[in-house]
Structure 1
Amino acid sequence: MGSLMNFFGYFMIWVSVTGRIAKPHAWQMCLYMWIAANSQSFPNTGALVTCVKNFPENRGSVLGLLKGFIGLSGAIMTQYYHAFYMDDTKALILLLAWLPTIVPLIFLRTIRIMKVVRLARELEIFYRFLYIALGLAGFIMVLIVLQNKVRFTRTEYLASAFVVVVLLLLPLVIVIKEEFSVWTGKKQASNNHSQVNVVTENPPAVPVMPAEATIRPLACIKTIFNPPERGEDYGIPQAIFSIDMLILFIATACGTGGALTVIDNLGQLDKSLGYPKHSISTFVSLVSIWNFLGRVLAGYLSEIALTNYNFPRPLMLTLVILLSCIGHLLIAFAVPNSLYFASVMTGFCVGAQLPLLCAIISELFGLKHYSTMYNVGSVSSPVGSYIFNVRVAGHLYDKEALKQMEALGLERKPGQDLTCNGAKCYRLAFLIISAATLLGSIVSLILVFRTRTFYKGDIYKKFKEGVAPTGNGDVPLREMEDKATTTVPETKTAVSAG
């Protein structure tokens, strides 16, 4: 679905821009853009939700890693664009049409829900993935700096893109190696049953509950406001109408909304605050790299803090939102060189909030309907961006620009873009955004108190199965029991060690 929507949307934009079809109406171009933009939800949700369900005890690491790669995707696509098309700007749209369409189709069969197989060194493997991701980010950062200083030839662009491809595929080497180790361990376990005690017997009959012929509407409504315990599988209406989801929505709308306002207005902030014209590329690079670091570090560090110290993830989200307030205040008061520090803080904070939000939703509301709940939580970002970027920053910027034109005795012509100069252009807007972000951190703190008992316990308890290490791999005890049960179905047997 995502591949088809991506190809149709961007391909229709490309043929329109290049004049291969008659000039479309504005509503048609909006439709193409809407289809292309919404196509990203399908591969994103498919890969992310599947990985969280397959690795529930390392969901923070998984989310940080995948969200980190999403953060790097723009820089990666830029390298491919230069390698394939050099500086043909219209061809960039064609690249966006075919490359993101082909990749999900190639790896389609690998994205599937599998029986949870917990390896003793699972976290160690995820750390190897992290090191590769950090190496890829560092390499791309070096490329960006070099390409801004030296003009690359076609051969140099092809060479750099080849290295990016190798680094992207390097995790496959680790995966293949580990799969071989697990296969070897299973083979040894099947030949040597003396490593574990197994008791098999006829499983008890499972009672079959009669299905109700009709569903009572009032009973369904009652269940919405009578949710299960935190950590159990919520129904979709139960999660959407829960106080915890409302708190998360408000907190992240305030937190990410203000941060996205900084990112969307970097160009105008650069001009208004009097920075050199070439510095905009530096700000964009800082935001991109620190956005990636925020995603991966928040995922991994929150997992370590939660597992080892029962440090609740909502508290880490609160601290991240609070940190972004500092960046907003630096912009509001136009501190010298503040935009460099604000770019770093904003990139890190907006990146860190995404995996934390996704992990918290999975922990509080369960994994049964995680696909829907994850996307419901993600709606907070565009809502916050619209409120603070359009209704606050955009409105106040235009108002101050009109004041400056009136002071100079100028009149605005129809369709003329407004330009505002000076620290006053964004001061009031970012003071409001700072206050809203502070409010978001306070709201998030309410969730910390509401969930403190839940996070004091072992939230991964139901995912922890017995693991019997064998040979080079680790085979779940449950899997051995299943095999033994099918082999001796009618007798009660004990396989004793030694």
Structure 2
Amino acid sequence: MASKTLQWLSLVGIIWLQSVNGTNSNFPAYSSQLKQLLSMSQVQLNNLAFASDAGKLFGFFPGIAALYFPLWLVLVIGSALGLAGYGLQYLFITGQISSLSYAHIFLLTVLAGNSICWINTVCYVVTIQNFPSDRQVAVGLTTSYQGLSAKIYTALVDSFTFSPVTRAKAYLLLNSLSPLVVSVMSVLFVRGLNVGTGNNMKVGFVAMFVLTIATGIYAVASSLGSVSSRLPPLANAIGILVFLLAPLAIPMAEKMKEKFLNGEMKVYVEENVGDDVERIESGIKAEDDHTREDDEVCVEEIGAMLMLKRVNFWLYFFVYLSGATLGLVYLNNLGQIAESRGSSGTSSLVSLSSSFGFFGRLIPSLLESNLSRSRYMKSRPACIAALMAPMAGAFFLLLSTANISLYISTAIIGVCSGAITSISVSTTTELFGTKNFSVNHNVVVANIPVGSFIFGYLAALFYRREASEDGKCMGMECYRNTFIIWGSLCLFGTFLALVLHARLRKFYSHT
């Protein structure tokens, strides 16, 4: 049986992987510069944002690969795809490759978007396997760090670059290299372990939550204009990297604890307890197994083909489409939205959305660890509905001309879409089981490219209709109709989430 030290090391490695795996989330920070460098129209730019999400249409490939190949190989394949997708784009805009057309850029972006699915799949599978008794808490906690990716990349770029042209190149270079470097660093301990079900990990998770919350507070504070203007960019980058290294303290403390127990307590146990230890441990394990069977008695293990025939799946699919996916489309267009309103703080907005998205992804996991027995936390669809309602309000708030409304709405959409993303992992396992999770969840998130194309293309059409002859649109009219439609769709999604909650009420009453 694997030690707790290895369990926590695997979680730290997953945190690092998730921190650099949200490469598509920093697209708004350099989209305007990329538009100028490649002389693209707004529709073409939106198609590139869709292309990054379109990689998820092929997310079932890493899901299947995880069933038959070693996880380290799946991880390496994912990082290699990202290296090719972003790396070739970097070589193109730096003039080292001169034969890439727009179609090539589109396909490379699809490839880069697909690489995220491979790394995500490894992170989910390892977390669920290594923390079977606390999988929902562990998955939610690690997933939250992917919401921090844009903040991390922006902090690094701000530290070393200044001109708009250089910024776009720096983002592409970091997007191509960072996941590969971290994957190589993590490949030794991000793997499935043989763990028991009776381990008490509560103290470790409390410590991990404290460190994670501190990281989020620092990320939000350093994203605010009044603080970021006084904080040197290099100091900001160093600060965020220090917080990412801080979780290593938990496996280190666990290692010291294991040495102490092995050296001091083992003798006492063997001499004074003897054979009773085995009987006690067996009794605990049997009780834990029985408890887990009771907890999961309502969970049905089904495959992707059977899942697609279920009404609950399609309700869940469209709820996600009009919630987390719609929030992602907004964030993909954040650079153009800020530019159209005359705001020059695109980087700070991207950092703000990333930081609040981080907290959004973390909050469900934090509540799960403290209120898992509460009836208020049992129904995931009800929680999703409660999050989608303020999201709809945030879209309508964007109709206000006040500059503060842009920041408030971005923070709300970041928090809510991040929380829905985190909750969706647990929802998939509860509705369709853990056995085929790697394939099933990748089928669920296939709604992201669908929504990205439909909602993003619609926004681009409205933008182009209001644009001047040079293709640039300035003013509130650029996205007014878009925000009205997005807000209405989010309200409709809230209704669908309540319908799903009503259909699953009996299920959650027995969990």
**Larger displacement relative to structure 2 (435-444 or 134-143):** 134-143
Q: Is the 8 A contact 1:256 1:385 kept in 2?
A: no
Change in 2 beyond 3 A, CA 1:2/1:146: farther
- Which of 283, 286, 289 is residue 349 of structure 2 equivalent to? 283
Report the Cα offset of residue 2 of structure 1: 1.2
User: Hey, what's the Cα distance between the residues in 1 that align with 2:108 and 2:410?
Assistant: 32
Matched, 1:137 2:216: yes
**Larger displacement relative to structure 2 (173-182 or 46-55):** 173-182
Which residue number in structure 2 is paired with residue 78 of structure 1?
154
Which residue number in structure 1 is paired with residue 500 of structure 2?
447
- Give CA deviations for 1:192-251 in whole Å, capped at 9, x if unaligned: 4355462999xxxxxxxxxxxxxxxxxxxxxxxxxx985132122122332222111100
Letter in 2 for 1:67: T
Letter in 2 for 1:75: K
Which residue number in structure 2 is paired with residue 367 of structure 1?
434
User: Hey, what's the Cα distance between the residues in 2 that align with 1:47 and 1:55?
Assistant: 12
- 1:286 partner SS: helix
User: Hey, what's the Cα distance between the residues in 2 that align with 1:41 and 1:230?
Assistant: 28
Which residue number in structure 1 is paired with residue 287 of structure 2?
none
Report the Cα offset of residue 102 of structure 1: 1.6
Change in 2 beyond 3 A, CA 1:353/1:390: same
Which residue number in structure 2 is paired with residue 165 of structure 1?
241
Which residue number in structure 2 is paired with residue 66 of structure 1?
142
Which residue number in structure 2 is paired with residue 249 of structure 1?
317
Q: Is the 8 A contact 2:324 2:417 kept in 1?
A: yes
Matched, 1:381 2:448: yes
Which residue number in structure 2 is paired with residue 8 of structure 1?
84
User: Hey, what's the Cα distance between the residues in 2 that align with 1:328 and 1:247?
Assistant: 22
Matched, 1:297 2:363: yes
Q: Is the 8 A contact 1:357 1:377 kept in 2?
A: no
Change in 2 beyond 3 A, CA 1:160/1:432: closer
**How many residues are matched?**
412
Larger radius of gyration: 1
Report the Cα offset of residue 357 of structure 1: 0.8
- Which of 224, 231, 245 is residue 299 of structure 2 equivalent to? 231
User: Hey, what's the Cα distance between the residues in 1 that align with 2:248 and 2:369?
Assistant: 23
Change in 2 beyond 3 A, CA 1:117/1:348: same
Which residue number in structure 1 is paired with residue 4 of structure 2?
none
Which residue number in structure 2 is paired with residue 198 of structure 1?
279
Which residue number in structure 2 is paired with residue 149 of structure 1?
229
- 2:247 partner SS: helix
Which residue number in structure 1 is paired with residue 288 of structure 2?
none
- Which of 372, 385, 390 is residue 323 of structure 1 equivalent to? 390
User: Hey, what's the Cα distance between the residues in 2 that align with 1:339 and 1:382?
Assistant: 25
Q: Is the 8 A contact 2:86 2:175 kept in 1?
A: yes
Q: Is the 8 A contact 2:391 2:413 kept in 1?
A: yes
Q: CA RMSD in A?
A: 3.2
- 1:193 partner SS: coil
Change in 2 beyond 3 A, CA 1:43/1:193: farther
Q: Is the 8 A contact 2:303 2:440 kept in 1?
A: no
- Give CA deviations for 1:432-456 in whole Å, capped at 9, x if unaligned: 2222212111111122122222222
- Give CA deviations for 1:89-141 in whole Å, capped at 9, x if unaligned: 33443333222212112211212222343466423322321221222233334
User: Hey, what's the Cα distance between the residues in 2 that align with 1:167 and 1:151?
Assistant: 16
Which residue number in structure 2 is paired with residue 105 of structure 1?
184
Letter in 2 for 1:417: G
Q: How high is the sequence identity, in percent, across the aligned residues?
A: 25
TM-score (norm 1): 0.73
Matched, 1:57 2:57: no
Change in 2 beyond 3 A, CA 1:28/1:430: closer
The structure with the greater share of residues assigned to helix is 2
- Give CA deviations for 1:128-187 in whole Å, capped at 9, x if unaligned: 2122122223333444447852584xxx72x55444333212212212322453576577
Matched, 1:436 2:489: yes
User: Hey, what's the Cα distance between the residues in 2 that align with 1:25 and 1:426?
Assistant: 29
Report the Cα offset of residue 71 of structure 1: 0.9
- 1:21 partner SS: coil
Q: Is the 8 A contact 1:232 1:366 kept in 2?
A: yes
- 2:299 partner SS: coil
Which residue number in structure 2 is paired with residue 17 of structure 1?
93
- Which of 315, 332, 344 is residue 264 of structure 1 equivalent to? 332
Report the Cα offset of residue 372 of structure 1: 1.0
Report the Cα offset of residue 270 of structure 1: 3.9
Letter in 2 for 1:305: L
Change in 2 beyond 3 A, CA 1:457/1:304: farther
Q: Is the 8 A contact 1:396 1:426 kept in 2?
A: yes
**Larger displacement relative to structure 2 (362-371 or 235-244):** 235-244
Letter in 2 for 1:264: N
User: Hey, what's the Cα distance between the residues in 2 that align with 1:265 and 1:28?
Assistant: 22
TM-score (norm 2): 0.72
- Which of 475, 479, 492 is residue 421 of structure 1 equivalent to? 475
